[in-house]
Amino acid sequence: MFKCPNCGASVSIKEKSKLHPSKHMPCKQCAQVLKPFTIYYYSLFFIAPFTVSISMNYAGFSTLGAMVLSFTLFYVLLVCQPIKKVTQ
């Protein structure tokens, strides 16, 4: 999850949080180009509003609490998404 799928070199959380489907990241050790799985990236935009809605309507959170929970969940899922090698 935090390693290059090609050589096993560690990828920092800071580097991984900057990943975007249109921008690729080279591995520092083997120079393999890495990118996130596109479906995981865009599914996060559905998870955040769903989390806010559920936590406010059913769990009784305040607006601020729901936003903090949603942002935290969104960031954790963004950082923990799998990365793959780019085939050229």
Q: Which two tokens stand for residue 11?
A: 């990828």
Amino acid symbol at 66:
A
Indicate whether 76 belongs to any domain: yes
The parent domain of residue 57 ranges over 13-85
Domain count, the chain: 1
Indicate whether 2 belongs to any domain: no
Indicate whether 18 belongs to any domain: yes
Beta-carbon contacts of residue 87 (< 8 Å; ≥ 6 apart): none
pLDDT computed for residue 15 by the predictor: 82
Indicate whether 61 belongs to any domain: yes
Indicate whether 58 belongs to any domain: yes
pLDDT computed for residue 1 by the predictor: 60
Indicate whether 59 belongs to any domain: yes
pLDDT computed for residue 88 by the predictor: 64
Cα distance between residue 48 and residue 73, in whole Å: 8
Indicate whether 5 belongs to any domain: no
Q: pLDDT tens per residue, the chain (88 residues)?
A: 678 888 888 888 888 878 777 888 888 888 888 888 777 778 878 888 898 999 999 999 999 999 999 889 888 888 888 888 777 6
Instruction: Output the pTM of the full model.
Output: 0.69
Residue with tokens 């390693």: 3
Indicate whether 1 belongs to any domain: no
